[in-house]
Amino acid sequence: MTGLGEQIGRGRTSVVYAYGDDRVIKLYPKGEPRANIDYEAEVAALVHRLEIPSLACHGVVEVDGQAGVVFDRLHGPSLNEIAEKDILHLPAVCRVLADLQVALHAGRRPELPDVRERAVELLDTGTLKQLSPTERDWLTEHLRGLPDGEAILHLDYHVQNAFRHGDGHVIIDWYSARRGHPAADVAMSVVMMREVELFPGTPPLKLLLYQAARRVISHFYLRRYLQVTAVTKAEVEAWMTCARVLRLGELDVPSERKRFLRRIRAAARAGRP
């Protein structure tokens, strides 16, 4: 095994480099807790053993004091790249996006951490500390009252985390994975596609095009998922506040803070998700 090769990707919390023969390393900054990195590697290995469409994981290694997770290298574009290249591929992209998530949710792992308890934990962190005691009490009761479930949830699932790979497709990035009701993961995907910040620094015209495309993908993805599962639109809507709590609590993106906090507060004050 050699050292780092070329940089081939970057996320909000990690950088991906070529690493040896047909592998990559997802490298985290030195301040990242090792427990979080080990958790991602464990979940990635688990979903691959369950034959959920994913890349083989080869554990955690350290490079110059930084820990990273080693995976097989991808051989294909993201669903986002496919849609960008030819808008006529949008229907197929939406279908694949939904069907991959259905395959993921077929996996049952009751030992994974509960998504509801993770959301409750986040109420005492970052920007969510601005919530009043009354708002926090309502949210705690609401979150814990959501339906239980044992499905594997990705919780960062969108067109940039699903790729064509060889003759099939795979899902990447398992850092946020938990277990729970499938509607929780769908709600999180809807929030990701409709409400989160797009790429910082994107020119205004291109931003408008991206936003329009995201709305189309969100609509047809959701329609497909609801068509092929027993999950209902009402069940997804019940998880929307939880999804916003997870987004704000996990990442706390400065440009999103006011909008997400306002919507979370509105739900708490209205007494409905």
Given 3.50.50.60, 3.90.1200.10, 1.10.1040.10, 2.60.120.10, which CATH number is that of 79-270? 3.90.1200.10
Give the dihedral sign, CA 50/56/59/65: negative
Residue 1's pLDDT is 44
Residue 134's pLDDT is 97
Residue 246's region, left for phi above 0, alpha for psi from -120 to 50, else beta, is alpha
What's 73's DSSP letter?
P
Please name which of 54, 64, 76, 49 lies closest in space to residue 19, comparing C-alpha atoms: 64
185 vs 192, 202, 254, CA distance in Å?
10, 27, 23
Main-chain phi, psi angles of 148, to 5 degrees? -75, 165
The model carries a pTM of 0.95
Residue 84's pLDDT is 87
Sheet holding 4-10, edge to edge: 4-10, 15-19, 23-27, 66-72, 57-63
Compute the distance between CA of residue 138 and CA of residue 141 in angstroms, rounded to an integer. 5
| Domain residue limits, the chain | 4-72, 79-270
Tally Cβ neighbours within 10 Å of residue 59. 12
Please name which of 145, 139, 144, 105 lies closest in space to residue 229, comparing C-alpha atoms: 105
- What is the second-level CATH architecture of the domain 4-72? 2-Layer Sandwich (3.30)
Compute the distance between CA of residue 142 and CA of residue 225 in angstroms, rounded to an integer. 25
Residue 142's pLDDT is 98
Residue 138's pLDDT is 98
Blockwise average pLDDT, block size 10, the chain, 273 residues: 82 90 94 96 97 98 94 96 91 97 96 98 97 97 98 97 97 97 98 85 76 91 98 98 98 93 97 89
**Do the first three CATH levels of 4-72 and 79-270 match, i.e. the same topology?**
no
Answer whether 77's CB lies under 8 Å from 63's CB: no
The amino acid at 272: R
